[in-house]
Amino acid sequence: MRHWLLSLLLCFLPVSNCLAVVPSTLKIALITDVHYLSPQLIKEGDALKAFEAASGRRTRELHEVLDEVLAALGREKPDILLVTGDLSNHGELASHSGFVEKLRPLQNAGTRIYVIPGNHDILVPDPKAYKGSVSTPVKGVTPDEFARLYGDFGYDEALLRDDASLSYMVEINEKIWLLAIDSNRYNEQHPTSISGGRIRPETLEWALEILRKAREKEVMVLGMMHHGLVEHMPYQEAFFSDYLIEDWRQQANKLADAGLGVIFTGHFHANDITLHTSPAGNPIYDIETASLVQYPFAYRVMQLQGNELHVNTRFVTSIPGNPDVENESRRRLETITRRVAQNRLDIPWVPIPEEVKNNLIEMIVQLHLMHVRGDETTNPDLRESIRLFATMMGAEADMESFAFDFPPEDKEVLLTIGVK
The residue ranges of every structural domain in the chain are 2-318+409-416, 325-392
pLDDT number for residue 17: 41
Half-sphere exposure of 330 (CA within 13 A, CB side): 16
Distance (Å, rounded) from C-alpha 221 to C-alpha 121?
25
Among 19, 58, 63, residue whose Cα is nearest residue 40: 63
DSSP one-letter code for 153: G
- The reported pLDDT for the residue numbered 353 is 81
Q: What superfamily does domain 2-318+409-416 belong to in CATH?
A: Metallo-dependent phosphatases (3.60.21.10)
Given this model, what pLDDT does residue 360 score? 81
**Positions of the chain with pLDDT lower than 50, given as ranges:** 1, 4-5, 8, 15-21
Task: Give 121-165 pLDDT, tens digit per residue.
Answer: 999 999 999 999 999 999 999 999 999 999 999 999 999 999 999
* Burial class of residue 252 (count of CB atoms within 10 Å of its CB; 0-12, 13-18, 19+): buried
Q: Which amino acid, 28?
A: I
pLDDT recorded at residue 16: 42
What span, in angstroms and rounded, lies between the C-alpha atoms of 241 and 195? 10
Dist. CA 410–CA 273, nearest whole Å = 5
Question: Taken in order 374, 416, 160, 28, is the CA torsion positive or negative?
Answer: positive
User: pTM for this one?
Assistant: 0.90
* Type of residue found at 74: G
- Beta strand 220-225 with 262-265: parallel, antiparallel or unpaired? parallel
Radius of gyration of the chain (CA): 22
Strand 272-277 with 283-288, pairing: antiparallel
What pLDDT is recorded for position 226? 97
Q: Tens digits of per-residue pLDDT, 178-203?
A: 999 999 999 987 788 889 999 999 99
User: What's the pLDDT at 377?
Assistant: 72
